[in-house]
């Protein structure tokens, strides 16, 4: 039964009281969206974060390029200084602290684990320096904030969020027959207006109905036409940093037909199209399957998926209901099915079960000490370094389909070596008093396992407390939950 | 048409069972183990900075602030960037060649799409879930013989199972006792893959592969990675394919002349070739090193003395499997009307013809099979005889 706390959350702290009703304990956590546990001074909105992105972009592209055009070394130096001025290396670390405090310090770790699921589902991949400034804020503002609403709301907000429009190139999606498409400068500058189908394809393939929805290339192009004109405008002073808005002059005129349904030209098209996509049977099946895959097993059975789909249908895709259904299935299959934990969730489980969270995440007090214009300290940069090193930085996915959720993709030597190294690292997050406390592993094990004596016997074969940590957190029982 | 594709955004590839990978039976002495090394030059490598054309007034005028001086003359038409010293030594020994005015068939100038296509070898961005090297390895039944000098597994190598990564982590590997203990625990719970991994990690430890040849801070730099890769590749039962990445070719500003940013990236590539050449020892003669990039750069310098995304570029090739030193090209010219879109060096050769020919040589597979099964039967030319030792 205690495995369940690792399955839907990150295990229990060494002296944490075991909840008497685990299922209710977990389900209650996803009903509402509480404030962030993190009390640092920087929790900025996506729009506020964009100012730093704009400053970096504009100054680099205009001022610096002109000033240092004959001085590559000077250019590199000035570029590094500018990066420090806008906190390029500070922001992602600050965001990871906010993110990980939810798992380690809040009273709703289950919500945190599901939030990470949605962050990977609506991936913003690592392009155009979005990972340094915007992705963290986007995951807070457009995903987490919507976890108590319907899936439809989440899709709408995520789709038109500035970072999503930027990274899937919808800013370049211009109707060839639109007013803008017919302008003379396009011919002169050889910049014809063209449909960019990238975002439309991902909206169907990755975000809603998946290839099982049976759409054709023609459907992709037609949905792309519906999406033409949704972009941030460009100005010299702010680059593409303006709010996303509907530019009628770039919108492809005429009716569009997606999956057999006709949509009128105009601003309302995208909302209507999303409404139909999220109500498509393939959508609820796709998302329910993905949720079961994340929480329960690499190969969920139709019996596992069915109750989640049912909850979706009953509640019209209200996410707390969908989440609760998935949690209940996870509870039911807790003993029979184990799920290989991705490196980030494994690291959080390790830290949480160790009870060493006074050093990780880096404290609010320390992060507040950051001074713009300087490189953040080694300690401040640790979270980002760690996640990159274990191979799953949540803002640095290489492609829009995010990280794999399958065991076979995470079982490689380089990554297994890292689990050994980071289990050791977790031990060194302890205060010295804990490092020399010979009862610490027994407490961790008694709280977290149904068969503590067996686990204790295995771990006792290790010689030092440090080695015990490496063994314990690399046991199959911890790698898989 | 039902659209289906990729699942290639994985944390890391299916790189299990390393032992299987590195325990392939020693090849019979009659069939030499031949190696392929691919260096991915990310950001758009400027073929005309690396291999400038000689005596083209038009060219010199258009990039007068970033022109490379004191270049090394290669033949009557082309010169070499003077900092590419190792490559030049290869050239002098007849183991270095260049293909010029070539590109993958992609003209839309986005890094994101271009880098996806240079790895997948396809025409539609994000459509393919495997890479051209991975597919050819599968065809050649080279399972567990690919090594990526990066994490996670690059798309280029996907398509064949059990490839491996080498990208060392910080710190010292655990004691043998710890690894043995874990191994026995995994054995008790029938976790066979994890069990095998412990063996592999022990082996790596014995080879001192963690810090490798280099001090701690730069062990993940190509300088160290290339020495390690060579040590693996030269083993008779080691991997046969290695893939490197060099970043930073996207020099929109202050591209610089002979000491500029673009030069720095080219030197990093040259350094990889140097380490491979030295550390591969005898195996260098059975190795082929190739570069890929997503596109070249504009001929004209921009206001910031950089260059913009272009089209045609050059491919570097080195190793003993090169037929001879040459700049192989069907030169399109640099007059305005000869340029692609009136601004970029044109590509007269599909880069995939070179890659298909190279793999046909290294993997000993018929060119037409590669063309058909790796590149979907697209119209590619067999250049094996012209470029490589058959």
| Sequential DSSP letters for A8-66 | HS----TTPPPPSSHHHHHHHTTSS-PPPS---S----HHHHHHHHHHHHHIIIIIIHH
pLDDT of res. B311: 97
pLDDT of res. A312: 98
Answer yes or no: do B229 and B370 share one domain: yes
- What average pLDDT values come out for chain A (481 residues) when binned by 10 residues? 97 95 98 97 97 95 86 90 97 98 97 98 91 98 98 98 93 94 89 88 94 91 97 94 97 98 97 98 98 97 98 98 98 96 97 87 96 96 92 88 85 87 92 90 97 96 95 97 96
The predicted model gives B68-87 an average pLDDT of 95
The predicted model gives B243-270 an average pLDDT of 86
Asked, for residue B76, whether it belongs to a domain, the answer is yes
DSSP string across A251-311? SPPS-EEETTEEE-SSTTHHHHHHHHHHTSHHHHHHHHHHHHHHHT-SS--HHHHHHHHHH
Question: What tokens appear for B51 in the block?
Answer: 């291999």
Answer yes or no: do B365 and B303 share one domain: yes
- In Å, what is the CA distance from A1 to each residue of A11, A331, A448? 11, 8, 9
Contacts of A71 in chain B (CB under 8 A): 254
* Angle, vertex CA B320, rays to CA B315 and CA B322, nearest 5: 40
pLDDT band for B365, please (50, 70, 90 cuts). Answer: very high
Interface touch A417/B173, C-beta < 8 Å: yes
pLDDT of res. B193: 87
Contacts of B171 in chain A (CB under 8 A): 421, 424-425
The predicted model gives B216-223 an average pLDDT of 81
Q: How far is B219 from chain A (nearest CA, A)?
A: 13
Answer yes or no: do B180 and B99 share one domain: no
Closest by CA to B388, choosing from B301, B328, B311, B313, is B328
Asked, for residue A268, whether it belongs to a domain, the answer is yes
Q: How far is A78 from chain B (nearest CA, A)?
A: 12
Interface touch A420/B153, C-beta < 8 Å: no
A71, A220, A403 ranked by CB distance to B11: nearest: A403
pLDDT of res. B19: 36
Number of Cβ within a 10 Å radius of residue B1:
9
Answer yes or no: do B373 and B246 share one domain: yes
Q: Give rounded-to-5 percent helix, strand, coil for chain A.
A: 60, 5, 40
Asked, for residue A372, whether it belongs to a domain, the answer is no
pLDDT band for B81, please (50, 70, 90 cuts). Answer: very high
Answer yes or no: do B320 and B310 share one domain: yes
Task: Print the domain residue range for A209.
Answer: 162-278
ipTM of the complex: 0.88
Q: Report the mean per-residue pLDDT for chain B.
A: 87
Q: How far is B262 from chain A (nearest CA, A)?
A: 10
The predicted model gives B296-319 an average pLDDT of 90
pLDDT tens per residue across span B92-136: 999 999 999 999 999 988 787 899 999 999 998 877 879 999 999
pLDDT of res. B129: 79
Number of structural domains chain B divides into: 2
pLDDT band for B208, please (50, 70, 90 cuts). Answer: low
Across the A/B interface, how many CB contacts are shorter than 8 Å?
Answer: 180
Interface touch A409/B185, C-beta < 8 Å: no
The counts of H helices and E strands in chain B are 13, 11
* pLDDT over threshold 80, residue B253: no
Closest by CA to A156, choosing from A77, A230, A225, is A230
Answer yes or no: do B295 and B237 share one domain: yes
- Burial label for B333, CB within 10 Å (0-12, 13-18, 19+), is middle
Contacts of B253 in chain A (CB under 8 A): 60-61, 64-65, 68-69, 75
pLDDT band for B303, please (50, 70, 90 cuts). Answer: confident
Interface touch B254/A412, C-beta < 8 Å: no
pLDDT of res. A16: 95
Name the 3-class secondary structure at A246: strand
Side-chain-side CA neighbours of residue B133 (13 Å): 30
Task: Print the domain residue range for B201.
Answer: 170-210
Residue owning tokens 């592969």: B209
Report whether A2 contacts A25 (CB < 8 A): no
Asked, for residue B188, whether it belongs to a domain, the answer is yes
Interface touch B65/A68, C-beta < 8 Å: no
Question: What tokens appear for A23 in the block?
Answer: 């299922």
Asked, for residue B230, whether it belongs to a domain, the answer is yes
Answer yes or no: do B371 and B244 share one domain: yes
The percentage of chain B sitting over the pLDDT mark of 90, rounded to a whole number, equals 62
pLDDT tens per residue across span A249-265: 999 999 999 999 999 99
Report whether B368 contacts B362 (CB < 8 A): no
pLDDT of res. B31: 67
Q: What is the CATH number of the domain that holds B325?
A: 3.40.720
pLDDT tens per residue across span B31-75: 689 999 999 999 999 999 999 999 888 898 888 888 888 999 999
SS (H, E, C) A55-117: HHHHHHHHHHHHHCCCCHHHHHHHHHHHHHHCCCCCHHHHHHHHHHHHHHCCCCHHHHHHHHH
Report whether A456 contacts A472 (CB < 8 A): no
pLDDT of res. B23: 42
Residue of A nearest to B5 (CA): A211
Asked, for residue B143, whether it belongs to a domain, the answer is yes
B6, B11, B152 ranked by CB distance to A342: nearest: B11
Interface touch B171/A342, C-beta < 8 Å: no
Answer yes or no: do B380 and B248 share one domain: yes
Contacts of B7 in chain A (CB under 8 A): 401, 404
pLDDT of res. B9: 29
Asked, for residue B302, whether it belongs to a domain, the answer is yes
Asked, for residue A70, whether it belongs to a domain, the answer is no
Answer yes or no: do B231 and B325 share one domain: yes
Question: What tokens appear for A129 in the block?
Answer: 């320096």
pLDDT of res. B10: 30
pLDDT of res. B207: 60
Q: Which residues pair with A215 in a beta bridge?
A: none
pLDDT of res. B215: 53
Report whether B260 contacts B65 (CB < 8 A): no
Number of structural domains chain A divides into: 1
């Amino acid at each position: 039964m205690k495995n369940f706390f690792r399955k839907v959350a990150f295990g229990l702290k060494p002296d944490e009281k075991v909840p008497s009703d685990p299922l209710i304990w977990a389900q209650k956590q996803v009903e509402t969206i509480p404030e962030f546990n993190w009390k640092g001074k920087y929790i900025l909105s996506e729009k506020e974060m964009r100012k730093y992105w704009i400053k970096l972009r504009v100054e680099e592209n205009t001022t610096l390029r002109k000033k240092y055009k004959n001085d590559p070394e000077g250019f590199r130096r000035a570029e590094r200084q500018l990066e420090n001025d806008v906190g390029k290396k500070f922001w992602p670390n600050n965001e990871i602290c906010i993110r990980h405090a939810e798992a380690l310090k809040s009273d709703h770790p289950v919500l945190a684990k599901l939030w990470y699921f949605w962050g990977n589902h609506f991936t913003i991949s690592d392009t155009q320096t979005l990972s340094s400034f915007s992705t963290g804020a986007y995951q807070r503002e457009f995903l987490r904030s919507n976890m108590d609403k319907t899936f439809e709301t989440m899709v709408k907000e995520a789709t038109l969020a500035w970072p999503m429009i930027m990274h899937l190139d919808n800013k370049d999606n211009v109707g060839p027959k639109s007013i803008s498409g017919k302008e003379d400068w396009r011919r002169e500058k050889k910049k014809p207006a063209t449909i960019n189908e990238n975002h439309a394809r991902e909206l169907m393939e990755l975000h809603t109905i998946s290839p099982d929805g049976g759409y054709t290339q023609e459907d992709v192009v037609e949905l792309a036409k519906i999406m033409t004109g949704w972009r941030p405008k460009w100005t010299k002073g702010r680059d593409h940093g303006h709010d996303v808005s509907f530019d009628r002059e770039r919108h492809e005129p005429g009716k569009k037909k997606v999956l057999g349904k006709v949509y009128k030209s105009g601003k309302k098209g995208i909302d209507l199209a999303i409404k139909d996509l999220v109500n498509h049977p393939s959508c609820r099946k796709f998302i329910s399957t993905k949720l079961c895959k994340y929480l329960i097993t690499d190969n969920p059975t139709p019996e596992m998926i069915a109750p989640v789909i049912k909850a979706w249908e009953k509640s019209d895709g209200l996410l707390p209901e969908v989440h609760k259904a998935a949690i209940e299935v996870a509870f039911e299959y807790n003993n029979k099915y184990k799920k290989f934990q991705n490196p980030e969730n494994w690291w959080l489980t390790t830290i949480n079960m160790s009870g060493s969270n006074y050093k990780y995440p880096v404290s609010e007090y320390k992060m507040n000490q950051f001074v713009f214009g300087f490189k953040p300290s080694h300690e401040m940069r640790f979270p980002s370094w760690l996640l990159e090193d274990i191979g799953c930085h949540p803002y640095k996915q290489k492609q829009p389909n995010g990280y794999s959720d399958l065991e076979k993709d995470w079982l490689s030597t380089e990554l297994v070596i890292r689990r050994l190294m980071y289990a050791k690292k977790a031990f060194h997050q302890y205060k010295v008093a804990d490092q020399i406390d010979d009862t610490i592993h027994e407490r961790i094990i008694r709280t977290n396992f149904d068969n503590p004596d067996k686990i204790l016997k295995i771990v006792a074969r290790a010689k030092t407390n440090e080695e015990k940590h490496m063994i314990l957190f690399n046991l199959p029982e911890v790698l898989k939950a | 048409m039902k659209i289906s594709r990729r699942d290639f955004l994985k944390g890391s590839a299916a790189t299990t069972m390393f032992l299987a990978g590195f325990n392939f039976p020693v090849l019979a002495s009659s069939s030499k183990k031949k190696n392929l090394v691919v260096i991915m030059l990310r950001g758009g490598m400027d073929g005309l900075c690396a291999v400038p054309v000689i005596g083209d007034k038009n060219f010199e005028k258009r990039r007068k602030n970033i022109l490379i001086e004191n270049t090394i003359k290669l033949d009557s038409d082309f010169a070499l960037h003077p900092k590419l010293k190792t490559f030049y030594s290869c050239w002098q020994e007849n183991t270095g060649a260049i293909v010029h005015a070539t590109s993958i068939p992609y003209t839309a100038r986005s890094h994101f799409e271009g880098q996806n296509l240079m790895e997948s070898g396809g025409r539609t961005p994000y459509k393919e879930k495997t890479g051209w090297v991975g597919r050819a390895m599968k065809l050649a039944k080279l399972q567990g013989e690919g090594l990526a000098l990066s994490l996670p597994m690059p798309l280029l190598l996907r398509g064949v199972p059990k490839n491996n990564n080498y990208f060392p982590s910080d710190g010292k590997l655990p004691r043998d006792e710890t690894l043995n203990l874990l191994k026995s625990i995994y054995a008790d719970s029938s976790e066979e893959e994890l069990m095998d991994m412990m063996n592999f990690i022990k082996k790596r430890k014995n080879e001192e592969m963690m810090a490798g040849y280099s001090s701690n801070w730069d062990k993940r730099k190509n300088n160290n990675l290339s020495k390690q890769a060579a040590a693996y590749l030269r083993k008779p039962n080691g991997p046969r394919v290695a893939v490197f990445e060099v970043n930073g070719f996207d020099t929109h500003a202050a591209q610089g002349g002979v000491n500029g940013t673009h030069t720095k990236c080219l030197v990093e590539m040259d350094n990889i070739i140097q380490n491979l050449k030295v550390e591969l020892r005898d195996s260098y003669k059975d190795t082929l090193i190739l570069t890929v990039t997503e596109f070249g750069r504009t001929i004209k310098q921009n206001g910031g003395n950089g260059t913009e995304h272009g089209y045609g570029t050059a491919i570097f090739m080195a190793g003993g499997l090169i037929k001879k030193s040459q700049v192989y090209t069907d030169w399109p010219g640099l007059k305005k009307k000869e340029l692609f879109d009136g601004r970029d060096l044109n590509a007269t050769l599909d880069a995939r013809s070179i890659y298909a020919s190279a793999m046909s040589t290294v993997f000993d597979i018929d060119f037409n099979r590669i063309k058909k099964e790796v590149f979907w039967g697209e119209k590619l030319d067999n250049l094996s005889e012209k470029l490589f030792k058959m």
